Amino acid sequence: MTYCLIQLAPGAYDLLLHGKIMGSVVRSGERSNNTFWTAELLEDGPPNQRPAPFAAIEHTFVTLEALCEWLGHPKVISNSGRSAVARRA
């Protein structure tokens, strides 16, 4: 799978698969405490029609790095148009 994250604002990304928006990635919680990241599909299709690695409509991670690893290290593009490395927020 070829995923890409496009930053919309700090802590918010569109999730693209093969160039098509199919979900979002958002940060929740306080910036320094209890922060978690959620990847969510836009459509809740049958489990056998969800793109890998999605077993459910949403998955939650402690860090953006862990989420990116789960997605197979997608390209991350910052809101200023420059490539960015997934980093702790």
How does pLDDT run across 13-33, given as a tens digit for each residue?
999 999 999 999 999 987 667
How does pLDDT run across 22-79, given as a tens digit for each residue?
999 999 987 667 899 999 999 998 999 999 999 999 999 999 999 999 999 999 998 7
Domain ranges of the chain: 3-77
Q: Using the 8-state DSSP alphabet, how is residue 48 labeled?
A: G
What pLDDT, on a 0 to 100 scale, did the predictor assign at position 30?
Answer: 77
Q: By three-state DSSP, how is residue 75 classified?
A: strand
What is the CB-side half-sphere exposure of residue 78 using CA atoms within 13 A? 8
pTM of the predicted model over 0.85: no
